[in-house]
Amino acid sequence: MPKYIFVTGGVLSSVGKGIVTASIGKILQVRGFRVTAIKIDPYLNVDAGTMNPYMHGEIFVTEDGGETDLDLGHYERFLDINLSKINNITTGQIYQSVIQKERRGDYLGKCVQIIPHITDEIKARIRRVAEEFKAEITLVEVGGTVGDIEGLPFLEAIRQMRLDEGKENTLFVHVALVPILKVTGEQKTKPLQHSINELRRIGIQPDIVVARCETPLRREARTKIALFSNVPIEDVFTSYTVDDIYKVPLILEEQGLGERILNKLKLPKRSPSWEYWKNYIMKRDSARRRINIAMCGKYVKLKDAYLSIREALKHAATEFYAKVNFVWIDVEEVEKNLKIINKVRLCDGIVLLPGFGERGVEGKIVCAKVAREENIPFLGICFGMQLAVVEFARNVVGLKGAHTTEVDK
């Protein structure tokens, strides 16, 4: 029977649920279990395709063309698996499907409600992913923060899934922030306690608590969390800040998270094989060579807008025992001040980043021209490559009015 691990978050968003979810997946994967992961986004958009990167971060594209949340990128990179558009569930998808069924008459004239119709649709989609990927364990990250009105139908659905599937086949993991007061250096657990109280009001008692903190949890803080969260102290873990996110699975493994998950889900005991993972991290840590890469784009003020590209360059550099120093170039600023382009000239390589629309087009073309004229290694991605072709057509072929129809029809 398939197992499900549900990861919720408290106190604030962007607390690191995605990394914890991916890390749990890795902890199970190195023990030989088949895993997959789902990201639930409680927004009314059907997908992330048209969302502003400044609002949402990167749009991660799956191999079947799905435009999804950036956390799917974390899952793919950590677990070395290809996911699908069905691995990203949104409120928009759920409501769209339920309303279409109602219009077709599938509900036979019943009053269509949040419970059971919306929650049943959510559960069906989660189970579909587990079935299609033939996963022994399916991780489900519920986006947003406990207490948000948008997330309530999803929390109700996963509460029901514990009743449907049984306690031995479901696990609730709650990730929440434990801030540190600068004045005293004290780890404050009260926000985490309140987020767990909110979760329990909904009917979910977390089995495991992961405190997100700048430093490892002190014993007294851990004891307090265990007491007020109604969980044994051995089920309280900490995901603390490190210089490399790929160290997080090892940090959680060292604290005994893997063994606790196996015990709770009644999974067979298997020895983990971390050799490849540890070698990879050692390679990253021992890199001495530095490579400067100019990242030329429109959304450079939010680095997460280009997360997968950034990570891909880091991975490639690791294979050559090198580290990448990213030089972020705002192409709109290049249009206003051409002196900025001198930063690009000093780099070892240039990446012309994706991002459609008129803004920054001429700035990107200037960056492509510098790469060609200065013979700097160049990578154009999506719209970036289109504009590199435009630059070549204008300045080499001699087609002075050359442009892309995306901007000039």
Reading the block at residue 390, the tokens are 């435009």
Residue 51's pLDDT is 86
| Matching residue, tokens 């590199």 | 388
In this predicted model, what pLDDT tens digit does every residue of 22-66 receive, in sequence order?
999 999 999 999 999 999 999 999 999 888 887 778 999 999 999
Express each pLDDT in 347-397 by its tens digit: 999 999 998 888 899 999 999 999 999 999 999 999 999 999 999 999 999
Do the Cβ atoms of 382 and 401 come closer than 8 Å? Answer: no
Task: Name the residue with higher pLDDT: 392 or 405.
Answer: 392
What pLDDT was estimated at residue 50? Answer: 85
Nearest to 46 by CA among 18, 60, 67: 67
pLDDT at 201: 95
Whether the CB-CB separation of 234 and 260 falls below 8 Å is answered with yes
pLDDT digits (tens, 9 = 90+) for 66-116: 999 999 999 999 999 999 999 999 999 999 999 999 999 999 989 999 999
As a whole number, mean pLDDT of residues 339-344 equals: 92
Q: Is the peptide bond before 206 cis (omega within 30 degrees of 0)?
A: no
pLDDT in the model for residue 255? 97
When the candidates are 2.50.20.10, 3.40.50.880, 3.40.980.10, 2.40.50.140, the CATH number that belongs to 287-397 is 3.40.50.880
* pLDDT for position 406: 83
Place of tokens 């049943």: 120
What does the domain layout of the chain look like in residue ranges?
A: 3-273, 287-397
Q: What is the DSSP letter of 310?
A: H
pLDDT in tens, 160-193: 999 999 999 999 999 999 999 888 889 999 999 9
- Give 257-312 pLDDT, tens digit per residue: 999 999 999 999 999 999 999 999 999 999 889 999 999 999 998 888 999 999 99
- Listed in order, strand segments (DSSP E) in 152-288 are 170-177, 208-213, 236-240
Q: Which amino acid is at 142?
A: V
Intrachain domains 3-273 and 287-397 with the same fold: yes
Structure-model confidence comparison of residues 124 and 336, the more confident one: 124
What's the CATH number of domain 3-273, 3.30.565.10, 3.40.1360.10, 3.40.50.10890, 3.40.50.300? 3.40.50.300
CB count, 10 Å around CB of 97?
16
- Cβ contacts of residue 133 below 8 Å, gap of 6+? 34, 36
CB-based contact 2:138 (threshold 8 Å): yes
Provide the pairing of β-strand 88-90 with 35-41. Answer: parallel
Q: What is the pLDDT of residue 92?
A: 97
Model confidence at 11, in pLDDT bands (50, 70, 90)?
A: confident
Q: Give which of 142, 132, 121 is closest to 71, Cα–Cα.
A: 142
The whole-number pLDDT of residue 409 equals 67
Query: 330 is written with which tokens?
Result: 């705002």
Q: Count other Cβ atoms within 10 Å, centred on residue 400.
A: 8
Residue pair 231/195 in contact (Cβ under 8 Å)? The answer is no
| pLDDT, tens only, 188-238 | 999 999 999 999 999 999 999 999 999 999 999 999 999 999 999 999 999
Half-sphere exposure of 108 (CA within 13 A, CB side): 0
3-state SS class at 131: helix
Collect all residues with Cβ–Cβ distance below 8 Å to 50 and sequence separation of at least 6: none
- Identity of the residue numbered 125: R
What six digits make up the tokens of 366? 């200037």
Cα 191–Cα 213–Cα 251 angle in degrees, nearest 5 = 135
Instruction: Assess whether pLDDT exceeds 80 at residue 408.
Output: no
Query: What pTM does this model have?
Result: 0.93
CB atoms within 10 A of CB 42: 21
pLDDT at 279: 95
User: What is d(CA 217, CA 210) in angstroms, rounded to the nearest whole number?
Assistant: 10
* pLDDT at residue 161 in the model: 98
* Amino acid code (one letter) for 79: L
Q: Which of 11, 16, 12 is nearest to 240 (CA)?
A: 16
Secondary structure of residue 71 in the 3-state scheme: helix
Going by C-alpha positions, the residue among 219, 217, 215, 209 that lies closest to residue 175 is: 209
How many residues belong to the chain? 409
* φ, ψ dihedrals at 176, nearest 5°: -150, 155
Q: Which helix (H) or strand (E) holds 306?
A: none
Which H or E element spans position 100?
Answer: helix 91-104
